[in-house]
Amino acid sequence: MKHVEDVLGKGWENYIEGQKLKADGDSFRLKLNTQEIFDDWSKNVQARNLGVSGRIFLIEQSRARTARGNVLKLKVNFHPEVITLSKEVRNFKNLGFRVPLGIVNKAHQANQLYPYAISLIESTKTYEKTLEKMESKENIASLVAGVRKEVQTLIAEGVQIVWDSFKVNQYVGRFAEQVFNFQERVEYLLALEEQLEVDIRSLETCSYSANCLADILAKIQKTVDDLSLRQYSNLPYWVSKLDEEVWLRYRRQWMIYH
The helix (H) or strand (E) run that includes residue 50 is none
Q: Is residue 208 within 8 Å of residue 116, measured between CB atoms?
A: no
- How many Cβ atoms sit within 10 Å of the Cβ of residue 120? 25
- Spell out the domain ranges in the chain: 1-48, 51-197
- How many Cβ atoms sit within 10 Å of the Cβ of residue 237? 12
Confidence of residue 131 (pLDDT cuts 50, 70, 90): very high
Q: Under 8 Å CB-to-CB from 176, ≥6 apart: which residues?
A: 119, 122, 123
The pLDDT tens digits of the residues spanning 56-101 come to 999 887 776 655 556 788 999 998 788 788 888 888 888 888 999 9
Confidence of residue 45 (pLDDT cuts 50, 70, 90): confident
Specify the pLDDT at position 10: 58
The helix (H) or strand (E) run that includes residue 70 is strand 70-76
The answer to whether residue 24 scores a pLDDT higher than 60 is no
The answer to whether residue 6 scores a pLDDT higher than 60 is no
- Side-chain half-sphere of 44: how many Cα atoms within 13 Å? 9
Q: Which residue has the higher pLDDT, 150 or 19?
A: 150
pTM given for the model: 0.74
Confidence of residue 207 (pLDDT cuts 50, 70, 90): confident
